[in-house]
Structure 1
């Protein structure tokens, strides 16, 4: 497949992808503030870039749907520059896009998220719909799937933080003209209590706006960011998503270990 982006294909080319049992990557992201140095499209741009690169290096046929750019970003609203959906709307839009993808004949869908605020809702959505759709849904994020490889490339943080070393480097690699590099060291926000941002007690959750964590909308240190590091980060991220897609276990059918009954008592099986 020379072209992998759904929106760049003709309708008959998309149909041909479905006939090949191609995997669809549906990127979900956000438009939200990313500190004083990165554009609001950062999550959307990086999610698209990783998805397209993954499609091109995967050995399986892959088609990348347009990015669902509107996400759950209420926690970033205090800084402005942010567009957000309600949970109800987010799940409804995601439901309809997945349903339309299935109606086009696709049976394997990777929902690839590049914005942390979408994670829980994405997983809950898959829990809700998987039992009633003929498609296999896989929810992923490139920062988690490539966590070890990403950590090995970073100097000041262990993983992808909001507008920090990793995201700034990747944006330098793919949208360098939009990165303000005039004072990257001066705007760093390396908070000691960052891990407790959304926690209460020993293991409880408590919502807080992002302004609870940072003064300027940035979490991390972009001072060590470089285009070369960004290119390396994009590569390992795309390779990890491609490996997920190419792994036969990702698409294996669920096992049924019930046998002819439970505890020796026969029962009517679901299938």
Structure 2
């Protein structure tokens, strides 16, 4: 089996991957509460698992290497439940910027930032926008929850998509870290969201702590979880991330559709 984990490779092997135009997956996650039944590493563990599986699949088409997971994320909304480590947006931005710079200095030109924590999403989009202006690399930000949304929906019974410590996350943790899941009374943990969490009006955004949504740190119904379902969810996520990596359009250079000039005035660079 091809080795895809950065930390398990030697320096010259990583240099060889850069020279071969490998894609780097940079997983970004969190350490935060996941209800009474799941460990705080849930987002980090699942993001890593799917990244590794996706890299092994994609490596049949082109070289891929998975960097160590950035486990520090934006989790202020979970702090009230305890067990959560969070950093501020400026620190998060600086950390990701430095890591991307470290990758590009070694010659990597295709970087997939694979996010597995919803609280990071807006900031990561902004960071990609900022870095893309000057970075020599093509930066793509994704999440398995969005890239495999249709497949995940088909596998779930009580949810349309990924929530938090829910049917999906509990199933996946049962599949890859079953010994860390307290499955003694999952039915008692079900939480049916009855109010908007981060929305206001018809399409507006409003920040709220997670206590606004749930009293036990769970959003969704973990009672519907199973290890078999978790394996299928993990494979669905990995398959779609691998497809994203191997699609040439993902890494295609941007086009410039401007004419040479408008009104007789040429465009500058």
Fold match, TM over 0.5? yes
Instruction: Choose the corresponding residue for 1:69, options 50, 68, 71.
Output: 71
In the other structure, the counterpart of 2:176 is 174
| SS at structure 1 position matched to 2:39 | coil
Measured in 2, the distance between the counterparts of 1:204 and 1:142 equals 25
| SS at structure 1 position matched to 2:186 | coil
In the other structure, the counterpart of 2:257 is 257
| SS at structure 2 position matched to 1:256 | coil
* Residue 71 of structure 1: how far off its partner (Å): 0.1
In the other structure, the counterpart of 1:121 is 123
* Residue 27 of structure 1: how far off its partner (Å): 0.3
| SS at structure 1 position matched to 2:113 | strand
Structure-to-structure mapping, 1:79-98, within 5 angstroms: 79-98=81-100
* Residue 54 of structure 1: how far off its partner (Å): 0.2
Please list the CA deviations of residues 175-197 of structure 1 after superposition, one character each: whole Å capped at 9, or x if unmatched.
Answer: 0000000000011111222xx11
In the other structure, the counterpart of 2:265 is 266
In the other structure, the counterpart of 1:20 is 20
* Residue 268 of structure 1: how far off its partner (Å): 4.5
| SS at structure 2 position matched to 1:76 | helix
Instruction: Choose the corresponding residue for 1:154, options 138, 142, 156.
Output: 156
In the other structure, the counterpart of 1:164 is 166
State how many pairs are aligned: 267
* Residue 265 of structure 1: how far off its partner (Å): 2.1
| SS at structure 2 position matched to 1:259 | coil
Measured in 1, the distance between the counterparts of 2:257 and 2:96 equals 32
Task: Provide runs of 4+ in structure 1 moved above 3 Å.
Answer: none
In the other structure, the counterpart of 1:32 is 32
Structure-to-structure mapping, 1:204-215, within 5 angstroms: 204-215=204-215
The unaligned stretches of length 5 or more in structure 2 are none
Q: Could you tell me whether the CA contact under 8 Å between 2:260 and 2:267 is conserved in 1? A: no
| SS at structure 2 position matched to 1:177 | helix
The unaligned stretches of length 5 or more in structure 1 are none
Q: Could you tell me whether the CA contact under 8 Å between 2:144 and 2:240 is conserved in 1? A: yes
Say if 2:227 is the partner of 1:217.
no
**Which of 16-25 and 253-262 deviates more?**
253-262
| SS at structure 2 position matched to 1:185 | helix
Q: CA-atom RMSD, angstroms?
A: 0.9
Measured in 2, the distance between the counterparts of 1:250 and 1:266 equals 33
* Residue 211 of structure 1: how far off its partner (Å): 0.4
In the other structure, the counterpart of 2:237 is 237
* Residue 2 of structure 1: how far off its partner (Å): 1.3
* Residue 61 of structure 1: how far off its partner (Å): 1.0
Measured in 1, the distance between the counterparts of 2:80 and 2:163 equals 19
Say if 2:106 is the partner of 1:107.
no
In the other structure, the counterpart of 1:201 is 201
Please list the CA deviations of residues 217-242 of structure 1 after superposition, one character each: whole Å capped at 9, or x if unmatched.
Answer: 00000001111100000001000000
Please list the CA deviations of residues 62-100 of structure 1 after superposition, one character each: whole Å capped at 9, or x if unmatched.
Answer: 100000000000000000000000000001000000000
